[in-house]
Amino acid sequence: MPQGQPLTVPDDGLTTRERRNRPLLMVHTGDGKGKSTAAFGLAIRAWNQGWNIGVFQFVKSAKWRIGEQTVLERLGRLHDETGEGGPVEWHKMGAGWSWSRKAGGEEDHAAEAAEGWAEVKRRLADETHDLLVLDEFTYPMQWGWVDVDDVVETLANRPGRQYVVVTGRRADPRLVEVSDLVTEMTKLKHPMDAGQKGQRGIEW
Amino acid sequence: MPQGQPLTVPDDGLTTRERRNRPLLMVHTGDGKGKSTAAFGLAIRAWNQGWNIGVFQFVKSAKWRIGEQTVLERLGRLHDETGEGGPVEWHKMGAGWSWSRKAGGEEDHAAEAAEGWAEVKRRLADETHDLLVLDEFTYPMQWGWVDVDDVVETLANRPGRQYVVVTGRRADPRLVEVSDLVTEMTKLKHPMDAGQKGQRGIEW
């Protein structure tokens, strides 16, 4: 891929280096494949740069354990053992977040999503991670489980040098507005259209 | 993400299991980000399933060493050392493919691309890999460095259970036609539009 050239140089008083190093807020949206996979690919690259990675999966089922989690957690252990790459934390909503696992009981997805966002917000304030992946976070935003204006304001005004990538369909226009890089994945052709179900190793 | 249900069930004489296990030919195209990153994400998942991975990067510059290569090769060594995951081979065109590195000399990208495709074709015939990533392969197709009909026929009729993902802009309609899963990544918003250049750890 050729190195791109900026179309315009903004009058923002920043040097090219300062602008280049501005931490990005990224969104992967659309109805196609690859939104989460590309976000995890970013996390893999970031690990290789020694970044501190935090993944927060806002999915309902804890059973859905995907290969990326295994691999990123393995890379995290590799960091702990050998110093290679960066540290990795992977949290998912499922049956309660790992920092507040409750035994049994009814699941309240809305409350869990709000709790997950509250934790992300604390970590953003503390500058815990260099890259935060908020996987499928557009859904709690859409369903009113978190306050969209709070999310947008918090992400837009996060301190320090924290990269954030949000994935999921139907990203809120307010989120798109404050984001630096927004990619839409569109399905041109999908095997489910031809009667094929998800495949192990490809879909999860 | 909810488990999708097929829109139609084809009258192809296959059971659901046979259809589910049909190896996929996938294309990531469009002008947006994430085409290669999502393909490498698939490779990461496939590694975790113990698949044999072959990556073939049809890029012109060998200098452009991206984080995914480091990480996937590291995972490949982890496999060799501990038996975890699957084996990984990563080849890139650059200044000659690794299986036929020539010292110095003029670079002939067209000949190198043709040589790369000939090697991929041999491996497909030999069923060497479970997943082949043909990264940025749409460009040699577009530039006439490889014969598109030969590529399409070879990929469509590959033997056994080999998954293939092709990345790059402007995928040829003939390739799209024979592919099972085609995703278009579209740029909605990009920091280069606001005068920001590529960032280490994000762009490469």
Who among A3, A24, A51 is closest to B191 (CB)? A24
Which whole-number Å values give the CA distances from B137 to A93, A105, B99, B133, B171, in the listed order?
A: 38, 51, 18, 9, 9
Which of B189, B200, B203 is the best substitution to test chain A (most A C-beta atoms within 10 A)? B189
Closest residue of chain A to B69, computed from CA coordinates: A45
Chain B: closest CA distance from residue A95 (Å): 15
Closest residue of chain B to A190, computed from CA coordinates: B181
Closest residue of chain A to B49, computed from CA coordinates: A201
CATH no. for B23-98+106-161+171-184? 3.40.50.300
Q: Is the dihedral of CA A143, A153, A88, A71 positive or negative?
A: positive
Give the pLDDT confidence score for residue B107 in this predicted structure.
66
pLDDT at A127 over 70: yes
pLDDT at A129 over 80: yes
Percent of chain A with pLDDT over 70: 75
A54-84: pLDDT as tens digits: 999 998 654 455 788 899 999 999 999 999 9
Which of A17, A77, A164, A185 is the best substitution to test chain B (most B C-beta atoms within 10 A)? A185
Give buried/exposed letters for A7-41 (b at 16+ CB in 10 A, else e): eeeeeeeeeeeebbebbbbbbbbbebbbbbbbbbb
B55-96: pLDDT as tens digits: 999 986 544 557 888 999 999 999 999 999 999 999 988 767
Complex ipTM value: 0.74
CB contact under 8 A, B184 and A185: yes
- Higher local confidence (pLDDT), A165 or B201: A165
The CATH architecture of the domain made up of A30-97+107-162+172-185 is 3-Layer(aba) Sandwich (3.40)
pLDDT at A148 over 50: yes
CB contact under 8 A, A188 and B184: yes
Q: In the predicted model, what is the mean pLDDT of chain A? A: 84
